[in-house]
């Protein structure tokens, strides 16, 4: 009897011990999964080996931020620049404002910079309603998994990102928006789950009728001769937009299929040749990608492989010069040709890219997390159309110059290989070392080794980071292959721009959401690319850029939140002692005051300092500007809807982005006072 009891007690005890062990194992496993998710979603961003700012879409929409571009305007050290076709781009820390591609945009893990300009303008208007999170990593320290970021990278995650362990379901919602310039927008997100199959889709459509005063166009400068000055126009530039996008993400077991198509039609802005176009003239940017991925977790080992194809095209249909303009005859410079009805053109270039990547992640060695892999790609142009008014002013209508006088090299092709290796080595609980190297080779450039070392030291809630990295920017296709164009010509002898970056950061973390960050940077840029006086792209100068950024996020009492950042940037150029077209001071802040749990009042303030011109530009420096936005957000917890109203730029500040010298002398004016109202309903 006693024996039986002993056996029973023993077996009960061992069962309980086993059960408890299982629970501990389960907790440990959950903690590990949480750590992975925290790292992926940058919840533990202060501990990451880069300089990073993360914003959540739902916080931004509550604040009244309308799209990705407006969100980026809040990031420390980031300014926005535009050009004559209103191809906007983010400028990081005073990086070359005339070059696209110094920053990369990665949407749901897919790099979306187009091949033609290496820009991502058409994605800047993604409505905030489909964005779950935006991570902006400043500096080339952002280089990871082989993606070749130069000045910074922007990672956008839509609500397709879904962690089954922590989120019950996908975000299903519809939204409607209306605002100034007759803006109208609508869209939805919808997820579907059935066993191992998950499908998520988002769609939006938006348009506006924006025209903004341009000042006199390039003809007023006399560059095209005194006679043509009389044809210079001063009117409102067509900056209207017609834009939609459909995205689909499909997960089945270890497979992921991602696809997106974006259509972006825009008024011809300030004209391809800097001469004001007609109101309905337009450009079209089309981007599509389809990517199939496999992610497999094995013991101490992960495989991540992708194969994909991207298509993008640039299309322009516009009047390129006004009626009456007279220019030298292309065949005989001693004679002139007058285009009585104006000069018109249709230009189209279609590109595609095929790519494949394979990365292996090993964590079998204690305290090491090693990732190694490669990316191979082929980019090529497969269609070029050039139709213009008869260059000799004889034939009526448009003449097809696609074969004889194309605006772009129809044989453009580039093969690239990137090999990448890195190791995250936890030296102890407080010290992490990340080191690695990218080897990069592509058509037109010599092989490049780009190393990277980052040390993160944690002392209680104080975090210190020391980062060195090197990166390159391959010339964009516009810089390489544009031809037969008076406004810009490519150059196949361009070297890549290079940067050696040194960064130091200190972070004081008050709680999971509240922190202070201070970081210093020193960037040694070489071979910056710019148009020269003959309108040919060239490596014109080296620039040293240095400065600092401060960021502070805190709760003020129970009812309000404050976020603010200040950035300072300065430096010198190998040709002159400063960096042109860059704001030395930028200050950005927002404040959210909860009037009650459902209603809050928001203020967003931005200050961008003045910008010195190039020495060859005789204009006064571009004036600084400051804007203030005021908004309200009402959220019904019960009925799960949200209404946001915001007045932007309430004091109607004169915001301008710099124009190229001797083009639009009054620079590129931006929106004045405006409003936006948004309605979002979650299901």
Footprint on this chain of other proteins (rule: CB under 8 A): 20-21, 23-24, 26-28, 30-31, 34-35, 37-38, 41, 43-44, 47, 56, 165-168, 432, 458, 511-513, 555, 557-559, 561, 594, 596-597, 637
Whose tokens are 């519809």? That residue is: 174
Structure-token pair, residue 337: 């040709």
The contacts of residue 113 (CB under 8 Å, 6+ apart) are 100, 101, 104, 105, 119, 120
The contacts of residue 18 (CB under 8 Å, 6+ apart) are none
Sign of CA dihedral 8, 10, 13, 17: negative
Query: What is the DSSP code (8-state) at residue 117?
Result: T
- Residue 637 C-beta: closest distance to other proteins, Å: 5
- Residue 300 C-beta: closest distance to other proteins, Å: 18
Structure-token pair, residue 486: 């008076």
A 10 A CB-CB count for 461 gives: 12
- Residue 429 C-beta: closest distance to other proteins, Å: 9
- Judged by beta carbon, residue 36 or residue 404, the one nearer other proteins is 36
Structure-token pair, residue 145: 């998994």
- Residue 564 C-beta: closest distance to other proteins, Å: 16
The contacts of residue 23 (CB under 8 Å, 6+ apart) are none
640 by DSSP, 3-state: which?
Answer: coil
- Residue 598 C-beta: closest distance to other proteins, Å: 9
- Judged by beta carbon, residue 10 or residue 17, the one nearer other proteins is 17
- Residue 594 C-beta: closest distance to other proteins, Å: 5
- Judged by beta carbon, residue 223 or residue 427, the one nearer other proteins is 427
* Residues pairing with 211 in the sheet: 238
| Cβ(551)–Cβ(46) below 8 Å | no
Which among 636, 665, 530 has a CA at the least distance from the CA of 232?
A: 665
- Judged by beta carbon, residue 3 or residue 637, the one nearer other proteins is 637
- Judged by beta carbon, residue 37 or residue 372, the one nearer other proteins is 37
Distance CA 310, CA 122 (A): 15
- Judged by beta carbon, residue 458 or residue 569, the one nearer other proteins is 458
Distance CA 115, CA 444 (A): 15
- Residue 343 C-beta: closest distance to other proteins, Å: 56
- Judged by beta carbon, residue 335 or residue 558, the one nearer other proteins is 558
- Residue 503 C-beta: closest distance to other proteins, Å: 19
Distance CA 440, CA 447 (A): 6
Residue 435 parent element (H or E):
strand 431-442
- Judged by beta carbon, residue 8 or residue 31, the one nearer other proteins is 31
- Judged by beta carbon, residue 56 or residue 207, the one nearer other proteins is 56
446: buried, middle or exposed (CB in 10 Å: 19+, 13-18, 0-12)? exposed
Distance CA 170, CA 199 (A): 9
- Residue 601 C-beta: closest distance to other proteins, Å: 13
Buried b (16+ CB within 10 A) or exposed e, 375-394: bebebbbeebbbbbbebebe
Backbone angles phi, psi at 37, to 5 degrees: -65, -40
- Judged by beta carbon, residue 34 or residue 536, the one nearer other proteins is 34
- Judged by beta carbon, residue 5 or residue 638, the one nearer other proteins is 638
CA 345 to centroid of chain Cα atoms = 30
- Residue 42 C-beta: closest distance to other proteins, Å: 10
Distance CA 97, CA 74 (A): 18
- Residue 351 C-beta: closest distance to other proteins, Å: 39
- Judged by beta carbon, residue 168 or residue 340, the one nearer other proteins is 168
Backbone angles phi, psi at 219, to 5 degrees: -65, -25
Distance CA 121, CA 117 (A): 10
- Residue 115 C-beta: closest distance to other proteins, Å: 36
* Residues pairing with 641 in the sheet: 636, 681
- Judged by beta carbon, residue 43 or residue 250, the one nearer other proteins is 43
Buried b (16+ CB within 10 A) or exposed e, 240-272: bbbbbbbbbbbbeeeebebbbebbbbbbbbbbb
How many residues are listed for the chain in this entry? Answer: 683
Distance CA 489, CA 190 (A): 45
| Cβ(631)–Cβ(64) below 8 Å | yes
- Judged by beta carbon, residue 414 or residue 561, the one nearer other proteins is 561
Distance CA 605, CA 590 (A): 6
- Judged by beta carbon, residue 30 or residue 618, the one nearer other proteins is 30
- Residue 20 C-beta: closest distance to other proteins, Å: 5
170: buried, middle or exposed (CB in 10 Å: 19+, 13-18, 0-12)? buried
- Residue 166 C-beta: closest distance to other proteins, Å: 5
- Residue 159 C-beta: closest distance to other proteins, Å: 14
- Judged by beta carbon, residue 364 or residue 559, the one nearer other proteins is 559
- Residue 168 C-beta: closest distance to other proteins, Å: 5
Q: Can you state the percent helix, strand and coil of the chain, rounding each to 5?
A: 10, 55, 35
């Amino acid at each position: 009897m006693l024996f039986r009891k002993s056996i029973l007690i023993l077996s009960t005890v061992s069962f309980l011990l086993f059960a408890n062990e299982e629970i501990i194992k389960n907790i440990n496993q959950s903690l590990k999964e949480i750590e992975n998710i925290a790292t992926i979603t940058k919840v533990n961003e202060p501990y990451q080996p880069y300089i990073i700012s993360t914003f959540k879409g739902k916080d931004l929409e509550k604040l009244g931020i309308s799209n990705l571009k407006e969100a980026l305007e809040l990031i420390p050290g980031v300014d926005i620049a535009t050009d004559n076709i209103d191809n906007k781009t983010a400028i990081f820390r005073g990086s070359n404002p005339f070059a696209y591609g110094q920053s990369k945009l990665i949407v749901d893990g897919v790099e979306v910079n187009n091949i033609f300009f290496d820009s991502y303008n058409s994605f800047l208007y993604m409505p905030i309603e489909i964005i779950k999170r935006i991570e902006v990593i400043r500096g080339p320290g952002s280089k990871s998994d082989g993606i070749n970021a130069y000045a910074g990278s922007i990672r956008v995650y839509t609500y397709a990102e879904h962690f089954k362990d922590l989120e019950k379901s996908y975000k299903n919602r519809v939204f409607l928006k209306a605002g100034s310039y007759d803006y109208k927008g609508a869209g939805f997100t919808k997820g579907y789950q059935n066993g191992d199959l998950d499908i998520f889709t988002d769609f939006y459509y938006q348009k506006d009728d924006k025209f903004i005063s341009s000042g006199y166009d390039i003809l007023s400068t006399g560059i095209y001769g005194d006679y043509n000055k009389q044809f210079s126009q001063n009117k409102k530039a067509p900056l209207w937009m017609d834009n939609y996008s459909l995205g689909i993400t499909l997960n089945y077991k270890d497979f992921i299929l991602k696809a997106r198509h974006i259509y972006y039609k825009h008024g011809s802005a300030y004209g391809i040749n800097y001469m004001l176009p007609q109101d309905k003239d337009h450009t079209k940017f089309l981007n599509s990608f389809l990517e199939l991925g496999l992610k497999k977790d094995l013991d101490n080992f992960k495989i991540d492989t992708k194969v994909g194809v991207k298509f993008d095209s640039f299309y322009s249909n516009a009047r390129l010069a006004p009626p009456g303009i007279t220019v030298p005859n292309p065949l005989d410079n001693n004679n002139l040709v007058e285009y009585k009805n104006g000069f018109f053109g249709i230009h189209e270039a279609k590109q595609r890219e095929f790519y494949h990547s394979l990365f292996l992640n090993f964590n079998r060695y204690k305290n090491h997390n090693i990732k190694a892999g490669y990316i191979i790609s082929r980019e090529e142009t497969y269609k070029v159309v050039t139709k213009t008014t008869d260059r000799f002013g004889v034939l009526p209508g448009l003449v097809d110059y696609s074969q004889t006088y194309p605006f772009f090299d129809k044989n453009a092709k580039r093969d690239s290989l990137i090999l990448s290796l890195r190791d995250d080595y936890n030296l102890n609980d407080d010290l992490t070392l990340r080191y690695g190297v990218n080897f990069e080779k592509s058509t037109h450039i010599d092989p490049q080794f780009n190393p990277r070392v980052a040390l993160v030291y944690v002392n209680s809630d104080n975090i210190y980071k020391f980062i060195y990295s090197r990166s390159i920017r391959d010339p964009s296709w516009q810089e390489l292959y544009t031809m037969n164009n008076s406004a810009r010509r490519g150059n196949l002898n361009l070297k890549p721009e290079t940067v050696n970056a040194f960064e130091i950061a200190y972070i004081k973390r008050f709680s999971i959401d509240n922190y202070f960050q201070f970081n210093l940077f020193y960037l040694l840029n070489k071979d910056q690319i710019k148009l020269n006086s003959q309108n040919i792209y060239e490596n014109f100068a080296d620039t040293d850029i240095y400065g600092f950024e401060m960021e502070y996020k805190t709760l003020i009492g129970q009812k309000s939140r404050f976020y603010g950042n200040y950035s300072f940037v300065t430096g010198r150029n190998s040709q002159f002692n400063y960096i042109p077209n860059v704001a030395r001071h930028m200050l950005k802040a927002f404040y959210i005051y909860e009037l009650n749990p459902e209603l809050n009042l928001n203020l967003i303030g931005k200050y961008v300092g003045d910008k010195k011109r190039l020495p060859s530009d005789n204009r006064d420096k571009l004036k600084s500007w400051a804007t203030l936005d005021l908004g309200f957000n009402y959220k019904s917890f019960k009925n799960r809807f949200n209404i946001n109203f915001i007045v932007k730029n309430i004091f109607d500040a004169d915001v301008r982005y710099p124009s190229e010298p001797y083009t639009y002398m009054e620079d590129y004016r931006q929106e004045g006072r405006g409003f936006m109202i948004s309605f979002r309903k979650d299901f």
